[in-house]
C-alpha cells in the first residue's frame, strides 16, 4: 500500500486497537477492581460478561444504522460513549455501577470492527479491501498486547483508576481522529460494485463464523489449565507458553496483509482451517503426548481468529448493498455466539468428564470436528458472485480508497 493509504487507515487502526484493548483489559484490571471495591465472584463474572453482552446485542441494530447513515456518525458517537464508559469504570465503587460501566464500554466498542469492515469493504477491488481490513486488524491486535504487561505497569504507576482515566482519554482522542479523517480523507469517487441479488451464499459462511472464535476461547480460558494439568507446567512455564502464543498470533495477523494480494484469501482460509482441524484431531488422540506440540497447536488455534477480517471481506461480495450492514451484523453476532457456546460447552465437558485427560480429549475432539464442519461447508460454497452495481455514497462514509484502486465506471457493453 502507498504511504497516503497507510495514513488514511491509521485512525481506523487506532480505533480497532482500542476495541481490542478493552476486550482484554478486564483480565488485568478486574482483580484490582475486585479487591478495591470488595467485588464477590458472581459480581466479577457479571461485570466481565456485561461488556460482551452489550457488544453482541448491538451488532445487527448497528448494521441497520450503517445501511441508512454510513459508518462515520455511529462510530464516532459510540466511541465517545465508550470513553464515558471507561471513565465510569475508573470511578466505580459498587458492583452494580461497575456492571453498568462495563455495559456502556461494550456499547462504545461495538461499532468499531464492523464499521471498519463495512467501510473498507465498499472501497477498491475485493483483494485491496481484504488487504486493508487485514492491515487494520493486524495493528488492532496490538491492543490485546497493550492490555497485558503495559497495563500492569501503568496501573502500578498511577493506580488502576488513573490507568482507566488515561484509556478513556485515549478512546476520546481516537473518536476525534476518526471524525477528522472522515472529513478530510481522499477525494470522492466511484465505489466497488456491491451485490444486488440474493444473499443465499452467506449460508455457507455461517458455520465458519461460529468456529472462528474457538481458538481464542481455548487460548484465553483453557490453555492454562490444559498445560498445567496435562504437563504439570507451573505458572512461569505456562506464562511463557502463552506469551509465545500471543507473539505468534500477532505475527500471523501482520503476515496476512502481506500475502493476501499474492495468495487468494479463500485459499488462505482453507489451508489455515485445514491445518487447525488436522492438528487438533491429532492431539485429541493423546492430549498429553508432547508439550511442544501442545503449545504449537494453541498457536494455530489462536491464529485462525485472524481469518475473521478475510471471511467478513469475502462475505461482503455476496451481500445486497441495501442490507450489507444488517448481514454483517448477523455474521459478527455469530462470532460472539461462538464464544458463548464454546465456553459453556467446554466447561460442561470438563465437569462431566472428570479426569483431565478425558476432558481435554473430548474438548479437542469437539474443536476439531467443529472446525472441520465449518471448513467443509465453506469449501462447498458456490464461488459465482451475484449481480452488482456501484453503491451510493452515504453521508457518513469514510473515503480513503486511492484512485488507483477504484474501478472505473465503464459504459455497458453493446
Ranges of each domain in the chain? 1-190, 193-390
Give the HSE-up count for residue 223: Cα atoms under 13 Å, Cβ half-sphere: 29
Map grid coordinates 460513549 to a residue: 81
Mean pLDDT of 95-106: 95
pLDDT given at position 318: 77
Mean pLDDT, rounded, for 117-129: 73
Tell me 219's DSSP state: I
Q: Which of 43-47, 237-241, 391-395 has the lowest mean pLDDT?
A: 391-395
* pLDDT tens-place string over residues 146-172: 887 788 889 999 999 999 999 999 999
The answer to whether the CB of 290 falls within 8 A of the CB of 226 is no
Q: Which has more confidence, 394 or 359?
A: 359
Using the predicted structure, report yes or no on whether residue 345 has a pLDDT greater than 50.
Answer: yes
- Name the DSSP letter for residue 289: S
pLDDT for 1: 52
Tell me the pLDDT tens digit for each residue of 256-283. Answer: 888 887 888 899 999 999 999 999 999 8
Say how far apart CA 169 and CA 158 lie, in whole Å. 15
Q: pLDDT category, 145, cuts 50, 70, 90?
A: confident
Q: In terms of pLDDT, which residue wins out, 383 or 315? A: 315
Question: What pLDDT is recorded for position 180?
Answer: 87
- Report the pLDDT value the prediction gives residue 368, as an integer from 0 to 100: 92
Question: Given this model, what pLDDT does residue 342 score?
Answer: 76
CB-hemisphere CA count at 13 Å for 9?
28
As assigned by CATH, the class of the 1-190 domain is mainly alpha
Query: Alpha-carbon distance 277 to 374, whole Å?
Result: 10
Give yes or no on whether 1-190 and 193-390 have one common fold: yes
Q: Percent of the chain having pLDDT more than 70?
A: 83
What's the confidence (pLDDT) of residue 386? 46
> What CATH superfamily is the domain 193-390?
MFS general substrate transporter like domains (1.20.1250.20)
Output 202 or 178, whichever has higher pLDDT: 178
* Weakest-pLDDT range from 10-19, 96-105, 109-118, 177-186: 177-186
pLDDT value at 46 more than 70: yes
More confident site: 338 or 303: 303
Amino acid at each position: 500500500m502507498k504511504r497516503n493509504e497507510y495514513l488514511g487507515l491509521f485512525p481506523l487502526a487506532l480505533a480497532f486497537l482500542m476495541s481490542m484493548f478493552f476486550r482484554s483489559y478486564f483480565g488485568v484490571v478486574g482483580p484490582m477492581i475486585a479487591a478495591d471495591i470488595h467485588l464477590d465472584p458472581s459480581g466479577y463474572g457479571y461485570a466481565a460478561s456485561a461488556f460482551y453482552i452489550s457488544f453482541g446485542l448491538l451488532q445487527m441494530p448497528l448494521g441497520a444504522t450503517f445501511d441508512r447513515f454510513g459508518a462515520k456518525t455511529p462510530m464516532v458517537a459510540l466511541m465517545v460513549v465508550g470513553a464515558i464508559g471507561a471513565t465510569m469504570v475508573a470511578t466505580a465503587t459498587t458492583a452494580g455501577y461497575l456492571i453498568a460501566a462495563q455495559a456502556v464500554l461494550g456499547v462504545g466498542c461495538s461499532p468499531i470492527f464492523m464499521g471498519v469492515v463495512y467501510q473498507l469493504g465498499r472501497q477498491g477491488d475485493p483483494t485491496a479491501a481484504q488487504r486493508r481490513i487485514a492491515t487494520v486488524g493486524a495493528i488492532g491486535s496490538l491492543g490485546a498486547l497493550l492490555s497485558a504487561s503495559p497495563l500492569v505497569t501503568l496501573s502500578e504507576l498511577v493506580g488502576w483508576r488513573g490507568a482507566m482515566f488515561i484509556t478513556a482519554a485515549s478512546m476520546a482522542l481516537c473518536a476525534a481522529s476518526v471524525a477528522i479523517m472522515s472529513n478530510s480523507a481522499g477525494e470522492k469517487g466511484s465505489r466497488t460494485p456491491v451485490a444486488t441479488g440474493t444473499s443465499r451464499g452467506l449460508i455457507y459462511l455461517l458455520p465458519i463464523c461460529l468456529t472462528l472464535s474457538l481458538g481464542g476461547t481455548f487460548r484465553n480460558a483453557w490453555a492454562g489449565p490444559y498445560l498445567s494439568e496435562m504437563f504439570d507446567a507451573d505458572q512461569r512455564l505456562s506464562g511463557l507458553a502463552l506469551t509465545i502464543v500471543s507473539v505468534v498470533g500477532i505475527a500471523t495477523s501482520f503476515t496476512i496483509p502481506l500475502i493476501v494480494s499474492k495468495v487468494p484469501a479463500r485459499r488462505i482460509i482453507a489451508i489455515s482451517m485445514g491445518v487447525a482441524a488436522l492438528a487438533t484431531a491429532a492431539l485429541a488422540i493423546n492430549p498429553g503426548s508432547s508439550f511442544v506440540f501442545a503449545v504449537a497447536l494453541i498457536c494455530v488455534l489462536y491464529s485462525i481468529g485472524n481469518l475473521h477480517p478475510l471471511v467478513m471481506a469475502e462475505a461482503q461480495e455476496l451481500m445486497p448493498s441495501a442490507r450489507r450492514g444488517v448481514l454483517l451484523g448477523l455474521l459478527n453476532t455469530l462470532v460472539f455466539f461462538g464464544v458463548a457456546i464454546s465456553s459453556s460447552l467446554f466447561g460442561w465437558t470438563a465437569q462431566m468428564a472428570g479426569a483431565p485427560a478425558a476432558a481435554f480429549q473430548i474438548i479437542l475432539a469437539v474443536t476439531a470436528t467443529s472446525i472441520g464442519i465449518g471448513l467443509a461447508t465453506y469449501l462447498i460454497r458456490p464461488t459465482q458472485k451475484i449481480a452488482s452495481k456501484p453503491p451510493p455514497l452515504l453521508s457518513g462514509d469514510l473515503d480513503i480508497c486511492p484512485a488507483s484502486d477504484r474501478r472505473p465506471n465503464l459504459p455497458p457493453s453493446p
